[in-house]
Amino acid sequence: MIKKFLFLSVFAFVLISATTANKRKDSEKVVVQPINIDYNIPYLQKNFVGFKEAVAFKESQGSYTVVNTLGYLGKYQFGRTTLERFNIHNTDAFLKNPELQEKAFVALCKVNKWILRRDIKRSVGKTMNGVIITESGILAAAHLSGAGNVKKFLRSGGSQRFSDAYGASIQSYMKNFADYDVSNITADRKATI
């Protein structure tokens, strides 16, 4: 009963947000602060589409135009330096381009998978701090904290921890985004958009 109520509450929030978003001007930016919700969204398949939608919901509640209080942008809450890595310098244009945001997320996953390829091989299936390590959990954690921090976490057996300014941790991302099939993402050091 509680899960059903929580799901209906989240669904109502998303529906209200979506209808309100349509009334905004295109050039208007929305600043939101994260809320704590269980991001294992029912009815999403455990494939890459389900993975990216679950990450997007955690990051921005799925809104392409969101800018958070720290300046992270779009549906997947990209930092400016990450965007610059993909030669994206106009953040206003980025916020108005859902297709570009989707391509940037895929490219970042490919780069992170390449950076973490050895750690993925060594760590998947192990348990650290009570969390079973999966490839999708590793990629989600890299999206949160960067691949370097995930390497430190994995190579320290989970003792080297990281949390963002809102309290989200590598460990929580590894747990919440575990067991998605991300095998269609190929490791590519030079991934571009």
What is the model's pTM? 0.78
Q: Could you please state the CATH topology (level 3) that the domain comprising 2-176 is classified under.
A: Lysozyme (1.10.530)
User: What is the b/e burial string over 50-68, where b = at least 16 CB atoms within 10 angstroms of the residue's CB?
Assistant: bbbbbbbbbbbbbbbbbbb
Query: And the tokens for 52?
Result: 């990216």
pLDDT of residue 24: 42
pLDDT of residue 35: 47
Q: Given the structure tokens 């998978």, which residue do they identify? A: 113
175: amino acid identity, one letter = K
φ/ψ of 64, rounded to 5, equals -75, -20
pLDDT of residue 166: 85
Q: Please state the domain extents for the chain.
A: 2-176
Strand partners, 128: 131
How far apart CA 77 and CA 75 sit, in angstroms, is 6
CB atoms within 10 A of CB 95: 23
pLDDT of residue 124: 98
How far apart CA 170 and CA 12 sit, in angstroms, is 29
What number of helices (H) and strands (E) belong to the chain? Answer: 9, 2
- ∠ CA 103-108-112 to the nearest 5 degrees? 155
pLDDT of residue 6: 44
User: What do you get for the CA distance between the two ends of the chain, in Å?
Assistant: 44
| Rounded mean pLDDT for each run of 10 residues along the chain, 193 residues in total | 47 46 46 50 83 97 96 97 97 98 98 98 96 98 96 94 88 96 97 94
